[in-house]
Structure 1
């Protein structure tokens, strides 16, 4: 509270979208402060203003000498003239050594396309603590690695009763990380400001309960900002139903990002685009006539239509070959997975 009060007293406002973010705008100058426990990032478009903020902060609190951003809660940051590369190389290596997997043979994908994991496959583990520890660590790692999001989501569904097959699948994900420790997200410095997202669903993909997996991938220009891979709340009666629910989930995330970017004083175009590869769901978003057939879907999903009618959102059809959210909702073959990683922006550390 003392930290928050200091920022408020020095002209900052507390973000409504992210409580740990503080923003101060004065004329053409804009300054951001992001707080994570005792680690703080201060940045802005005027180096003198940033220096004055750091100076006022050091007079009030005991601080270390400020340095360029290199490491922030487990994320390693490498700066080039073209942008920032974010990765978890040290975190991955520590995880591999902790589980004696650092010498494992690398594999090309986190999970194989077949056979699919089920609740009953394998025999229950006598001690599930290591499995739960590994999956928990992978959940944190997926914040910067969208290409393992689906695998981590799948493994998380067996936390209550993991089996030997589930443990072998978790070790396969670790084997994949052995060959890709330097992979991460590259944020391009010259990217245009254009928020758009990809939405997808794997209809009845879980053979245990036939619940669909939804996924989204949201970009600002060329830079991936947000992604998710989760099971839906209930069974979808059709692929259109599953895809429409996924679009609604993506739209909610897009609106939240819009609120955040507006607080950051970043101007966005009026109508943002969500790409969906299901024609029925695309029509359903814009055509009120179709809603009479979808009364079984909760009314909270129909806010997509309201966003479109207010011209704040547009849902467009995209071919399956161009659907970048595929890797978040289903298992892909080796070649398709590697192509998907390049498309969604997961790259290794640039040699420069």
Structure 2
């Protein structure tokens, strides 16, 4: 606590002034945390003075609050590029990051509990810098950091506002920001070292060396690339909900499960149900095998039943047996984008909507995936599949634009695989327009891309459709893309228990 107060005073965070009568006084409190190492050992004990931002008044005590955060797809894409060129990935942590941001509003805060000035106990702190807990604190820190990066020659990415790119005179550097956790990679070691020195001179920086533990994700380097796993996070979830010693389940969700909103079973504890599903949302960063199960079970958070809760516990039992699984990123041999898109038809028994899904590979590495319930009812399986194509195409275009900004353009137009011949034909043949004229015009951009040769849509047999595992509860949890036959996956890997999520 003394170290925290000293850091606040050395950064000139506030000035003690008499209590104003016409201003809101924001209270504060102490928060204590234990920082852990990836192996479960204690790193350090930490005390943080946090303002009670919920007492701030909108439009008076704060205005802008949004602070961009890094997209997981961007992280996996940059990791793939670094593996392709054998670039180092350096990790940094900023000490008291929010104290680096300046406030544009006049904010008064009560003195820290236990550290009141004995000569002026009734005075309050007039804040000149942002402090943790204030609504505008993340925004202020982000603006201070982005201003410094832009002064150093970095350009903010249009695809991801938390990605900054430097590309001058043959030197390329990528700087990734997630609040106060920073990653830096590039092709020129001396330039990386010089920029690191300037960054440390501007901010209080802690260099963590090569990336190893980032945002709760363990990055395990090897001769074959990186293995991303959230092993400790899974164990923490199981321990928190008393499922650490449960009997493992072979699949995330039963293949015969028919989940509906009203199933006749008694209601379950909605608070506990939401806590479990909320914890599992972040696990999707490295576990695409549970994407469908989490998406399906999240649809009943407003009114869960005992049957829903039983399937949640089954998902936890599956994680109990597969806690060490993760996502493997290998050095890519190509710079192509390959995607799989699929959808069931009227699979939801309550409103007859469909579930769509897609998987996107860059250079053979799985970088993006999603399982999502469609918003409208499809009148045919072709319509449901085509809507899945449209969503996958939108994500493909975003990834393609991201790669162009990173100065890593793809070598050929992306290829999108679909197992529905009607949707494949409709994406290229306007003669089918009369059957699908009720579709919204914004979905027809897929056909424009196909006709301009900017996108290739290909048919693939259902047995080889990788995205099928994210649209229904099937025991398909191994997402492999063979190097020899892009898009053609042996059906043998679609059977049996989970072994790995990796690249064949």
Give the TM-score, by structure 2 length: 0.66
1:202 paired to 2:339: no
**Which is further off, 266-275 or 99-108?**
266-275
Matched residues in 2 for 1:246 and 1:277: separation?
A: 11
- 1:313-324 correspondence runs (5 A): 313-324=455-466
Alignment CA distance shift 1:347-1:40 (3 Å): farther
Q: CA contact under 8 A between 1:184 and 1:347: conserved in structure 2? A: no
Matched residues in 2 for 1:264 and 1:292: separation?
A: 41
- 1:48-63 correspondence runs (5 A): 48-63=190-205
Matched residues in 1 for 2:424 and 2:467: separation?
A: 16
1:157 paired to 2:294: no
1:15 paired to 2:157: yes
Q: Any stretches of 5+ residues in structure 1 without a counterpart?
A: none
Q: Which residue of 2 aligns with 1:228?
A: 370
Q: CA contact under 8 A between 2:343 and 2:354: conserved in structure 1? A: yes
Q: Which has the larger radius of gyration?
A: 2
Matched residues in 1 for 2:437 and 2:266: separation?
A: 41
Aligned length: 345
**Which is further off, 322-331 or 187-196?**
187-196
Q: Which residue of 1 aligns with 2:239?
A: 97
Q: CA contact under 8 A between 1:110 and 1:176: conserved in structure 2? A: yes
Q: Which residue of 1 aligns with 2:393?
A: 251
SS at structure 2 position matched to 1:343:
coil
| Larger helix fraction of residues | 1
Alignment CA distance shift 1:199-1:126 (3 Å): closer
1:109 paired to 2:251: yes
- 1:86 CA displacement: 0.6
1:281 paired to 2:419: no
Matched residues in 2 for 1:243 and 1:348: separation?
A: 28
Q: Which residue of 2 aligns with 1:88?
A: 230
**Which is further off, 18-27 or 185-194?**
185-194
- 1:261-340 correspondence runs (5 A): 261-332=403-474, 334=475, 337=476, 340=477
- 1:204-219 correspondence runs (5 A): 204-219=346-361
Q: Which residue of 1 aligns with 2:93?
A: none
1:343 paired to 2:485: no
Matched residues in 2 for 1:171 and 1:215: separation?
A: 24
Q: Any stretches of 5+ residues in structure 2 without a counterpart?
A: 1-142, 483-497
**Which is further off, 247-256 or 141-150?**
141-150
SS at structure 2 position matched to 1:274:
strand
Q: Relative contact order (C-alpha < 8 Å, sep 6+): which is higher?
A: 1
For residues 169-192 of structure 1, the C-alpha deviation after alignment (integer angstroms, 9 at most, x for no partner) is 111111001111111111101432
- 1:122 CA displacement: 4.8
1:131 paired to 2:273: yes
